Amino acid sequence: MITLKIRNKIRDHLNVTNDYFFSGPFGLEKFSLDNICLFLEDESCFGLALKRPKHKGILYGVCHALARRVLNFLSVEERVGIVSKKLSYFGIWSMLSKFLDREMSADNLTDVSDIGMGDSIYLLTFNNVKKKVVLKGKGQCTQSIFGDFLHQLDLPHVTSCYYESRGKGWELSECAEIKNLSDTVSKENVETYISDLGMHAAIGDVLGRGDRHLENYGIKEDRVVPFDVSFLFCKDNNKWCMKYLFGGMYEFSTLWYMSRSARFEECVGKFFKGYEKGISRLQDNVTAIETLVDRVLKNESLENSLLVNREHKAEILERVIDKLNSESFLMEQTCLYRESFKEMKKRQVYKELLNQLYESKPEVIKKNQLLYMYYLSDKDRVSSFFLSEDKPMNLFDDIEKLAKSVLDLEKIEIVRRIND
């Protein structure tokens, strides 16, 4: 039963965060008090997802994720009580017992927090095991399959398993003090991870692994590890790679933190040495790639055909092997990354202007829903105007006009900043 105390906590939280949500073509729907209380009270409701229409290019940011994680504002006892009932309803305890190789029950759960971005992903802490466990609903088997593949390549990975219960897929992963890459590179020395990022970029490009944004990487013992692996063997990988690079969301984007350094080119060289090492590692493990393709195809029905669009093994392998055997692949990708970084640099300048405009006249930005969406989605991240090239209007023109009227900044000065 949701107590009056809990309802008041939620009401206070909504009052603080409601400003991030707005109706309209570029907004996310607000949460209601009753909606959240139902999620907390109903054991059959596993997660609380952001309310946004799919395939409309509506983006969300860290502020939306923090607002959605209502569970975290409750006490430890309240969180444990609410989530343990959900775990019992969905038969998660038996999965945890298999995954951890010991008997697990509600008596062992000592803490839980929501660490997901768009939907709930739970970090579970227990009194009888040292390892924390990440539990994802709407799980896919791809993460565990890809983890096994990285193990064969002798690369660090996240240990995870896929299960099914009550007609849903569930993913359990061990959490060995893994830090999120997106948070880490903004606070620590990015050079530590550049070589690993280059290697994973190569593996992603060759295997057509999509959705490699920085929140889908972690740091484990000073090594980069991918998680939330969903899409493999994407046919038009370079098209999406370019879009993510434009928007400052892929491995190479982390070099933004070095872009004003005299050692920038040295870091770029280190990245592509890692990239070359990734290609070499794949060339030495073609048999492991064949096994990966077999396992993905075998489990494709579980993934709603999102991975390989029902291609045959021969088609996938031909595309992968062609990249590995191509003498020009590395050069082509180097050019793609460098050219995309120029676009990202331009967008970062406009992002800084948008932040200045919001600080000066927040009400003006809020009236332009597209600009407000990007302000919120890019805030506290290295991302910048993802998919803006697909939007019906040129938002950079709008920023230039506002920069002139609000900041008295001429376009020539904006161009100078871009070229600086």
Could you state, in order of their start, the residue ranges of all structural domains in the chain? 4-137, 179-325, 343-419
d(CA 176, CA 184): 16
pTM (2 d.p.): 0.93
**Per-residue pLDDT, 303:** 45
Q: How many CA atoms, within 13 angstroms, populate the side-chain half-sphere of residue 96? A: 26
Domain 179-325, second-level architecture: Orthogonal Bundle (1.10)
**Per-residue pLDDT, 189:** 81
Q: Each residue of 77-108: pLDDT tens digit?
A: 999 999 999 999 999 999 999 999 999 999 99
CB neighbourhood size of 101 (10 A): 8
Between the alpha carbon of residue 391 and those of residues 87, 196, 283, 371, 381, the distances in Å are 41, 33, 39, 11, 21
**Per-residue pLDDT, 310:** 59
**Per-residue pLDDT, 48:** 96
- Residues of the chain predicted below pLDDT 70: 176-177, 300-310
**Per-residue pLDDT, 109:** 98
Query: Could you please report the per-residue DSSP string of 223-289?
Result: EEEE-S----S-TTHHHHHHHHHHTT-SGGGGGGGGTTSTTHHHHHHHHHHHHHHHHHHHHTTHHHH
Structural tokens at position 308? 């390989």
End-to-end CA distance of the chain: 59
Q: Each residue of 308-317: pLDDT tens digit?
A: 555 789 999 9
d(CA 153, CA 285): 7
